[in-house]
Amino acid sequence: MNQKSLKDKKLFIFDIEGVLIPSIENPKVYQSANDVIKELREKGKKIAFLSNISRTPWNKVADTLVELGLASDRDEVFTAGKVAVEYVKRKRKEARVFVISEYGLLADFSQEKNITLTSQKPVDFVVIGLKRNINFTEINFALECVLEGAELISCGYTNYYIGEYMGRKGVFIGDIPICEMISFTAGKKGEYIKIGKPSPIIFQYLLSKYQVEPSEAVMIGDKIETDIAGAVALGIYSIFLESEERKSHFTPPIYNEKKEPNLKVKNISEILNLFQ
């Protein structure tokens, strides 16, 4: 393990759930997270927060982190939903977008004035998030749009997840298999944009916003398969937080590429010992 000094790093990217708070629904800041972030700011470091969340709108996540005193500004907060919106805005000035999702991602897209959320053609982008009662009417419409040239985007990078809906507890299919099905059926197997860790787009977007090179950034996360694998693939210094106290996230078996982090810590405050 390479324990080099973090003195020269410019940007510290924190995963949110499991690192700073248990979850957005249970936003109780872990002891020492506030102190670590405050001290990093005093050292002149830039701070960013990065989550694959799309079930909760970016606005809500950003406001929560600001209220908790973790983020100094909403612009420090990046979610898969927000980055999907930004991706669409960068690709097209006035876009017509068909979204299959529950409330969070729909809210992210509906708040953009140059984006029209629609279920009528023409459609420029089809965005798939998590929807526990997804149905074939909307999947067929998405397929039709893709066959006619719409760009397909998966948001959240989830294979399946464990949840509860209308009294039913169990597993629910995520965005990735829906995009695999649509792209396969359209004769373009695997041709879709993946927005969510470990896919590079979400990291690259964040780095470009801060104008920081991967070698100047540090990622702190509690999931090897997403936070760490994504950072390692891009050459971002990665710190894996392993702690019994943290909520152990469910990780679906899509992420088979496990990467070794540069460093493992048991407590987030250990980061502060690495500035000598």
Interface ranges with Mg ion (CB under 5 A): 15, 17-18, 222
How far apart are CB 239 and Mg ion at their closest, in Å? Answer: 13
| Residue among 183 and 238 whose Cβ is closer to Mg ion | 238
| Residue among 49 and 125 whose Cβ is closer to Mg ion | 49
How far apart are CB 15 and Mg ion at their closest, in Å? Answer: 4
- Mark 79-103 as b/e (b = at least 16 C-beta within 10 Å): bbbbbbbbbbeeeeeebbbbbbbbe
Could you count the other beta carbons within 10 Å of the beta carbon of residue 37?
A: 24
| Residue among 165 and 250 whose Cβ is closer to Mg ion | 250
| Residue among 100 and 224 whose Cβ is closer to Mg ion | 224
How far apart are CB 26 and Mg ion at their closest, in Å? Answer: 13
Give dist(CA 149, CA 144) in Å, integer. 9
| Residue among 151 and 227 whose Cβ is closer to Mg ion | 227
Q: Using CB atoms, what's the residue nearest to Mg ion?
A: 18
Give dist(CA 276, CA 273) in Å, integer. 7
How far apart are CB 247 and Mg ion at their closest, in Å? Answer: 8
How far apart are CB 253 and Mg ion at their closest, in Å? Answer: 17
Query: Which whole-number Å values give the CA distances from 107 to 60, 77, 163, 170, in the listed order?
Result: 10, 16, 21, 25
How far apart are CB 224 and Mg ion at their closest, in Å? Answer: 11
| Residue among 14 and 98 whose Cβ is closer to Mg ion | 14
